[in-house]
Amino acid sequence: MAGTVLIVGGTAGIGRDLANHYAGQGRPVVLTGRDATTAAKVASEVGGGAQGLALDLSKPTEIAGNLAGLGPVDHVVLAAIDRDANHVKTYDIAAAVHLVTLKLVGYTEVVHTLADRLTGQGSILLFGGQARLRPYPGSTTVSSINAGVVGMVRTLSVELAPVRVNSIHPGIVGDSPFWAGKPLDAVVANTLTGRLATMDEVVRASVFLLENGGVNGVDLVVDGGWR
Ligand SMILES: NC(=O)c1ccc[n+]([C@@H]2O[C@H](COP(=O)([O-])OP(=O)(O)OC[C@H]3O[C@@H](n4cnc5c(N)ncnc54)[C@H](OP(=O)(O)O)[C@@H]3O)[C@@H](O)[C@H]2O)c1
Protein backbone atom coordinates (compact mmCIF):
# COMPACT_ATOMS: atom_id res chain seq x y z
CA MET A 1 0.00 0.00 0.00
CA ALA A 2 1.23 3.48 -0.91
CA GLY A 3 2.47 5.38 2.12
CA THR A 4 2.04 8.85 3.53
CA VAL A 5 2.74 12.07 1.66
CA LEU A 6 3.72 14.99 3.94
CA ILE A 7 3.23 18.43 2.44
CA VAL A 8 4.81 21.22 4.47
CA GLY A 9 3.05 24.37 3.34
CA GLY A 10 -0.03 22.44 2.24
CA THR A 11 -2.72 24.83 3.44
CA ALA A 12 -2.56 27.09 0.36
CA GLY A 13 -1.37 27.47 -3.20
CA ILE A 14 0.65 24.78 -4.92
CA GLY A 15 1.06 22.72 -1.72
CA ARG A 16 -2.69 22.58 -1.28
CA ASP A 17 -3.20 21.50 -4.89
CA LEU A 18 -0.62 18.74 -4.37
CA ALA A 19 -2.55 17.66 -1.27
CA ASN A 20 -5.72 17.53 -3.39
CA HIS A 21 -3.92 15.45 -6.00
CA TYR A 22 -2.61 12.85 -3.56
CA ALA A 23 -5.80 12.67 -1.49
CA GLY A 24 -7.67 12.14 -4.78
CA GLN A 25 -5.36 9.20 -5.50
CA GLY A 26 -6.31 7.64 -2.17
CA ARG A 27 -2.92 8.33 -0.58
CA PRO A 28 -2.65 9.19 3.12
CA VAL A 29 -1.85 12.94 3.21
CA VAL A 30 -0.59 15.07 6.08
CA LEU A 31 -0.51 18.79 5.29
CA THR A 32 0.91 21.55 7.43
CA GLY A 33 0.51 25.26 8.04
CA ARG A 34 1.46 27.49 10.95
CA ASP A 35 -1.93 27.31 12.63
CA ALA A 36 -3.49 24.01 13.79
CA THR A 37 -7.08 25.13 13.22
CA THR A 38 -6.37 26.30 9.66
CA ALA A 39 -4.45 23.12 8.88
CA ALA A 40 -7.27 20.94 10.20
CA LYS A 41 -9.88 22.93 8.25
CA VAL A 42 -7.95 22.68 4.97
CA ALA A 43 -7.31 18.97 5.58
CA SER A 44 -11.02 18.35 6.00
CA GLU A 45 -11.73 20.31 2.79
CA VAL A 46 -9.09 18.26 0.95
CA GLY A 47 -10.85 15.13 2.21
CA GLY A 48 -9.81 11.50 1.78
CA GLY A 49 -8.81 11.33 5.43
CA ALA A 50 -6.11 14.00 5.06
CA GLN A 51 -4.74 15.27 8.36
CA GLY A 52 -3.62 18.77 9.30
CA LEU A 53 -0.62 19.59 11.45
CA ALA A 54 0.76 22.85 12.84
CA LEU A 55 4.40 23.54 12.12
CA ASP A 56 6.29 26.85 11.88
CA LEU A 57 9.49 26.50 9.87
CA SER A 58 10.82 29.78 11.26
CA LYS A 59 11.04 28.03 14.66
CA PRO A 60 13.28 25.10 13.69
CA THR A 61 14.00 23.96 17.24
CA GLU A 62 10.29 23.10 17.60
CA ILE A 63 10.00 21.06 14.39
CA ALA A 64 11.03 17.69 15.86
CA GLY A 65 8.30 18.05 18.48
CA ASN A 66 5.75 19.12 15.86
CA LEU A 67 6.46 15.97 13.85
CA ALA A 68 6.78 13.57 16.79
CA GLY A 69 3.45 11.87 16.10
CA LEU A 70 4.10 11.27 12.41
CA GLY A 71 4.82 7.68 11.32
CA PRO A 72 6.65 6.40 8.21
CA VAL A 73 6.59 8.73 5.21
CA ASP A 74 6.99 7.98 1.48
CA HIS A 75 7.21 11.51 0.15
CA VAL A 76 8.15 14.80 1.82
CA VAL A 77 7.21 18.00 -0.02
CA LEU A 78 8.66 21.25 1.29
CA ALA A 79 6.57 23.98 -0.34
CA ALA A 80 6.19 26.57 2.42
CA ILE A 81 7.08 30.22 1.89
CA ASP A 82 6.41 33.50 3.66
CA ARG A 83 6.17 36.42 1.23
CA ASP A 84 8.99 38.91 1.48
CA ALA A 85 10.35 42.08 -0.13
CA ASN A 86 13.84 43.09 0.88
CA HIS A 87 16.36 45.36 -0.88
CA VAL A 88 20.04 45.33 -0.06
CA LYS A 89 20.12 49.15 0.11
CA THR A 90 17.43 49.20 2.81
CA TYR A 91 18.28 45.80 4.24
CA ASP A 92 15.87 44.48 6.86
CA ILE A 93 17.97 42.02 8.88
CA ALA A 94 15.08 40.60 10.89
CA ALA A 95 13.06 39.84 7.75
CA ALA A 96 16.08 38.24 6.11
CA VAL A 97 16.88 36.06 9.13
CA HIS A 98 13.22 35.00 9.28
CA LEU A 99 13.07 33.88 5.64
CA VAL A 100 16.52 32.29 5.53
CA THR A 101 15.63 30.36 8.69
CA LEU A 102 12.26 29.27 7.29
CA LYS A 103 13.49 28.05 3.92
CA LEU A 104 17.02 26.83 4.50
CA VAL A 105 17.20 25.83 8.18
CA GLY A 106 13.51 24.90 8.50
CA TYR A 107 13.41 22.78 5.34
CA THR A 108 16.63 21.01 6.40
CA GLU A 109 15.40 20.39 9.93
CA VAL A 110 12.22 18.73 8.60
CA VAL A 111 14.42 16.41 6.53
CA HIS A 112 16.71 15.77 9.50
CA THR A 113 13.75 14.96 11.72
CA LEU A 114 12.22 12.53 9.23
CA ALA A 115 15.39 10.94 7.83
CA ASP A 116 14.84 7.70 9.75
CA ARG A 117 11.14 7.59 8.91
CA LEU A 118 11.49 7.68 5.11
CA THR A 119 10.40 4.40 3.55
CA GLY A 120 12.17 2.44 0.83
CA GLN A 121 10.22 4.37 -1.82
CA GLY A 122 11.18 7.60 -0.10
CA SER A 123 11.72 10.86 -1.96
CA ILE A 124 11.95 14.50 -1.04
CA LEU A 125 10.93 17.55 -3.09
CA LEU A 126 12.16 21.04 -2.24
CA PHE A 127 10.52 24.12 -3.71
CA GLY A 128 12.82 26.86 -4.97
CA GLY A 129 11.92 29.30 -7.73
CA GLN A 130 13.34 31.11 -10.73
CA ALA A 131 13.96 34.28 -8.72
CA ARG A 132 17.27 32.50 -8.06
CA LEU A 133 18.27 33.38 -11.66
CA ARG A 134 15.91 36.27 -12.45
CA PRO A 135 15.95 38.75 -9.60
CA TYR A 136 13.36 41.51 -9.36
CA PRO A 137 13.27 44.59 -7.10
CA GLY A 138 12.96 43.31 -3.54
CA SER A 139 14.04 39.72 -4.25
CA THR A 140 17.37 39.92 -2.43
CA THR A 141 16.48 37.25 0.13
CA VAL A 142 14.13 35.28 -2.14
CA SER A 143 16.79 34.99 -4.87
CA SER A 144 19.36 33.90 -2.28
CA ILE A 145 17.24 31.22 -0.62
CA ASN A 146 15.97 29.80 -3.91
CA ALA A 147 19.58 29.48 -5.07
CA GLY A 148 20.32 27.87 -1.69
CA VAL A 149 17.78 25.15 -2.44
CA VAL A 150 20.04 23.97 -5.29
CA GLY A 151 22.87 23.46 -2.81
CA MET A 152 20.54 21.62 -0.46
CA VAL A 153 19.63 19.16 -3.23
CA ARG A 154 23.32 18.51 -3.88
CA THR A 155 24.18 17.64 -0.29
CA LEU A 156 20.93 15.98 0.80
CA SER A 157 20.79 13.63 -2.21
CA VAL A 158 24.30 12.43 -1.35
CA GLU A 159 23.84 12.24 2.42
CA LEU A 160 20.46 10.48 2.25
CA ALA A 161 21.15 8.10 -0.67
CA PRO A 162 19.33 6.03 -1.84
CA VAL A 163 16.50 8.39 -0.89
CA ARG A 164 15.94 10.67 -3.89
CA VAL A 165 16.04 14.43 -3.42
CA ASN A 166 14.96 16.87 -6.15
CA SER A 167 13.92 20.50 -6.41
CA ILE A 168 11.41 22.34 -8.54
CA HIS A 169 11.86 25.94 -9.67
CA PRO A 170 8.70 27.52 -11.03
CA GLY A 171 8.72 30.85 -12.75
CA ILE A 172 5.84 33.13 -11.86
CA VAL A 173 2.81 30.83 -11.65
CA GLY A 174 0.14 33.10 -13.09
CA ASP A 175 -2.90 31.38 -11.56
CA SER A 176 -1.38 30.91 -8.09
CA PRO A 177 -3.16 32.78 -5.29
CA PHE A 178 -0.24 35.18 -4.78
CA TRP A 179 0.03 36.27 -8.42
CA ALA A 180 -3.52 35.89 -9.77
CA GLY A 181 -4.87 39.27 -10.92
CA LYS A 182 -1.51 41.06 -10.75
CA PRO A 183 -0.11 42.77 -13.87
CA LEU A 184 2.24 40.19 -15.42
CA ASP A 185 2.21 41.20 -19.10
CA ALA A 186 5.94 41.95 -19.10
CA VAL A 187 6.75 38.46 -17.83
CA VAL A 188 4.36 36.84 -20.31
CA ALA A 189 6.01 38.82 -23.12
CA ASN A 190 9.38 37.32 -22.14
CA THR A 191 8.08 33.73 -21.91
CA LEU A 192 8.54 31.59 -25.01
CA THR A 193 5.22 29.77 -24.63
CA GLY A 194 3.42 33.12 -24.61
CA ARG A 195 1.84 32.30 -21.25
CA LEU A 196 2.89 31.53 -17.71
CA ALA A 197 3.14 28.06 -16.23
CA THR A 198 0.04 27.01 -14.31
CA MET A 199 -0.57 25.49 -10.89
CA ASP A 200 -1.65 22.26 -12.57
CA GLU A 201 1.59 22.09 -14.55
CA VAL A 202 3.67 22.64 -11.41
CA VAL A 203 1.70 19.95 -9.57
CA ARG A 204 2.21 17.44 -12.40
CA ALA A 205 5.94 18.23 -12.55
CA SER A 206 6.12 17.79 -8.76
CA VAL A 207 4.46 14.37 -8.98
CA PHE A 208 6.97 13.35 -11.66
CA LEU A 209 9.91 14.35 -9.44
CA LEU A 210 8.44 12.62 -6.40
CA GLU A 211 7.53 9.37 -8.09
CA ASN A 212 9.93 8.66 -10.95
CA GLY A 213 12.52 6.34 -9.44
CA GLY A 214 15.18 7.31 -11.98
CA VAL A 215 15.12 11.03 -11.20
CA ASN A 216 17.49 12.16 -8.47
CA GLY A 217 19.43 15.33 -7.75
CA VAL A 218 17.47 17.25 -10.39
CA ASP A 219 16.62 20.97 -10.24
CA LEU A 220 13.64 21.14 -12.58
CA VAL A 221 12.60 24.48 -14.09
CA VAL A 222 8.90 24.95 -14.89
CA ASP A 223 8.57 28.42 -16.38
CA GLY A 224 7.46 28.06 -20.01
CA GLY A 225 10.87 29.28 -21.18
CA TRP A 226 11.17 32.58 -19.29
CA ARG A 227 13.90 34.66 -20.98
N1 LIG B 1 3.48 30.99 -6.72
C2 LIG B 1 4.50 31.20 -7.53
O3 LIG B 1 4.37 31.88 -8.57
C4 LIG B 1 5.84 30.64 -7.21
C5 LIG B 1 6.92 30.95 -8.06
C6 LIG B 1 8.16 30.43 -7.75
C7 LIG B 1 8.34 29.63 -6.64
N8 LIG B 1 7.30 29.36 -5.83
C9 LIG B 1 7.52 28.52 -4.67
O10 LIG B 1 6.53 27.52 -4.61
C11 LIG B 1 6.19 27.23 -3.24
C12 LIG B 1 4.68 27.36 -3.06
O13 LIG B 1 4.33 28.70 -3.40
P14 LIG B 1 2.82 29.19 -3.30
O15 LIG B 1 2.73 30.47 -4.06
O16 LIG B 1 1.90 28.08 -3.68
O17 LIG B 1 2.71 29.49 -1.74
P18 LIG B 1 1.51 30.14 -0.87
O19 LIG B 1 0.21 30.04 -1.62
O20 LIG B 1 1.96 31.49 -0.43
O21 LIG B 1 1.44 29.15 0.38
C22 LIG B 1 2.47 29.18 1.29
C23 LIG B 1 2.33 28.04 2.28
O24 LIG B 1 3.41 28.15 3.23
C25 LIG B 1 2.87 28.11 4.56
N26 LIG B 1 3.73 28.89 5.45
C27 LIG B 1 3.91 30.24 5.45
N28 LIG B 1 4.79 30.59 6.42
C29 LIG B 1 5.17 29.43 7.03
C30 LIG B 1 6.05 29.13 8.11
N31 LIG B 1 6.72 30.10 8.77
N32 LIG B 1 6.21 27.85 8.48
C33 LIG B 1 5.54 26.86 7.84
N34 LIG B 1 4.68 27.08 6.81
C35 LIG B 1 4.50 28.35 6.42
C36 LIG B 1 1.47 28.66 4.41
O37 LIG B 1 0.66 28.15 5.45
P38 LIG B 1 -0.09 29.06 6.56
O39 LIG B 1 -0.29 30.42 5.99
O40 LIG B 1 -1.36 28.30 6.81
O41 LIG B 1 0.84 29.03 7.73
C42 LIG B 1 1.06 28.05 3.07
O43 LIG B 1 0.61 26.72 3.25
C44 LIG B 1 6.99 28.23 -2.38
O45 LIG B 1 8.13 27.60 -1.86
C46 LIG B 1 7.39 29.32 -3.36
O47 LIG B 1 8.62 29.93 -3.02
C48 LIG B 1 6.04 29.84 -6.09
What is the model's pLDDT at position 156? 98
CB-side neighbour CA atoms (13 Å) of 106:
25
* CA 50/CA 27 separation, integer angstroms: 9
CA 99, 122, 219, 221 torsion-angle sign: negative
The letter for the amino acid at 204 is R
In short, whether 148's Cβ falls inside 6 Å of ligand 1 is: no
The H or E element that residue 122 is part of is strand 118-127
Cα-Cα-Cα-Cα torsion 127, 133, 134, 140, nearest 10 degrees, comes to 80
pLDDT in the model for residue 1: 66
pLDDT of residue 121: 83
Atom 18 of ligand 1 has which residue's CA nearest to it? 13
Entry pTM: 0.98
pLDDT digit string (tens) for 178-208?
999 999 999 999 999 999 999 999 999 999 9
Ligand 1 atom at minimal distance to the Cα of residue 83: 20
Average pLDDT over residues 73-84: 97
Q: Is the CB of 172 under 6 A from ligand 1?
A: yes
CA of 160 to the centre of ligand 1 (A): 25
With a CB cutoff of 8 Å and minimum separation 6, the contacts of 199 are 13, 14, 17, 173, 175, 176
- d(C-alpha 112, C-alpha 76), whole Å: 12
pLDDT of 2 reads 84
For the segment 12-21, what is each residue's pLDDT rounded down to a tens digit?
999 999 999 9
Q: Assess whether pLDDT exceeds 70 at residue 215.
A: yes
The SS3 of residue 139 is strand
